[in-house]
Amino acid sequence: MKGITFPKLDGSSLKIGIAVARWNEHITKKLLEGCKEVLLECNVLPENIIELETPGSYELPYAAQQLIKKRGVNAVVCLGTLIKGETMHFEYISQAVTQGIMDINLEHDAPVIFGILTCLTEEQAMARATGDNNHGFGWGKSAVEMALIGK
Ligand code: DLZ
């Protein structure tokens, strides 16, 4: 992925939650694939990757909170795709989910990764969810790196 490098990460002792929104599912599915691929590369065991779906991005902070409280994960990746439309929904949901994820980070003893694409067009979102530029790769590694800080 462009713009960031990561150290070598060993996630073999970690349990990682992924909360993924179904809105713009054709894009969030690709982010999910990228995220899971790198978690496995970082030695996170398949049985220690806990997935939870939400209807949309707005519901992701609650899902992250529940993964931490009820499933005991060491970190959560929230995956969603917000595409600006003709209403104010984009602004309201983007603001709420951004603040919601930060709140969960600080309230609970587990990092929550902001894996939300906020794009003007579907093309922009797809470019960030496919090939070498699939942002799911960086978000999966960020979860492992941050979870190890909290271990
Ligand atoms: C309502 C809505 C709209 C307009 N756009 C998106 C979007 O681009 N991406 C997304 O993840 N979710 C969207 N949603 C759904 C909200 O996130 C939420 O699921 C509903 O408002 C119900 O709380």
pTM over 0.95: yes
Catalytic residues: 89
What b/e string do you get for 66-93 counting C-beta neighbours within 10 Å, with b at 16 or more? ebbeeeebbbbbbbbbbbeeeeeebeeb
The one-letter amino acid code at 32 reads L
- In the chain, the N- to C-terminal Cα span, in Å, equals 26
pLDDT tens digit sequence for 9-28:
999 999 999 999 999 999 99
- Per-residue pLDDT of 22-51, as tens digits, reads 999 999 999 999 999 999 999 999 999 999
Residue 110 to residue 31: CA distance in whole angstroms: 21
Tokens 């800080």 label which residue? 149
The ligand 1 site (C-beta within 6 Å) comprises 21, 23-24, 55-59, 80-83, 85, 89, 93
> Which of 27, 28, 58 to probe ligand 1 with, by most ligand atoms within 8 A of CB?
58
